[in-house]
Structure 1
Amino acid sequence: MSDDSSPEAILRKRLYWHSRRGMWELDLLLIPFLEQCYGELDEADRAAFRSLIEEEDQDLFAWLMRREWPEDSARRRIVKMIVEHAETTDNDRYRNL
């Protein structure tokens, strides 16, 4: 994917900018997940991620901070995947200290 004008590259850039929320806590969860996991997701999970980042910041914050879970099962699944990725990444980071 060296062509920056390919549809996939354009979509990835759009997703990156939509994942930048201006809220540090959300940025720390969404952007690494996008960069490290999105490419490995099946189409249903990719669609769930694209849908998720269209949500309001306060909803995303509540879900990603595990204060509550989305009612929609596909959205709940992707939120759990993001949270688990962050927990795994943090554990790996601290193991290397």
Structure 2
Amino acid sequence: MFTEKRYNRLKWACRRGMLELDVLFLPFVEEAFSDLDAEKQETFERLLTCDDPDLFAWFMGHQKCDDPELAEMVKIILDRVKV
């Protein structure tokens, strides 16, 4: 369960050094995070611990994420943006 403090830390972690990632993560956490089940919320939190160059490569399609859970979360976020 995400407490308000943990959720606020998560929102802070969404602020990256790259605009391309910021425009994906912050709207996602504000608008869709609460709709995820607990397991996917944990996966999203883990995704935010990854390095920005890896995240950029995964989200821009330059590289495939080897972790299946993280790859699924990348897909969820990208699918939401395409809608």
Tell me the TM-score normalized by structure 1: 0.80
Residue 13 in structure 1 maps to residue 11 in structure 2? no
- Partner SS for 2:3: helix
Equivalent residue in structure 1 for 2:35, among 27, 35, 40: 40
Alignment map for 1:44-59 (pairs within 5 Å): 44-59=39-54
Which amino acid in structure 1 is aligned with residue 19 of structure 2?
Answer: W
Q: Distance in 2 between matches of 1:82 and 1:66?
A: 13
Query: Which structure 2 residue ranges, 5 or more long, are not aligned?
Result: none
Equivalent residue in structure 2 for 1:78, among 66, 73, 77: 73
How far apart are residue 32 of structure 1 and its match?
0.8
How far apart are residue 73 of structure 1 and its match?
0.9
Residue 31 in structure 1 maps to residue 58 in structure 2? no
Q: RMSD between aligned alpha carbons?
A: 1.1
Query: Which structure 1 residue ranges, 5 or more long, are not aligned?
Result: 1-6, 89-97
- Partner SS for 1:79: helix
Structure 1 outlier segments of 4+, above 3 Å: none
Q: Which has the higher contact order (CA 8 A, sep 6+)?
A: 2
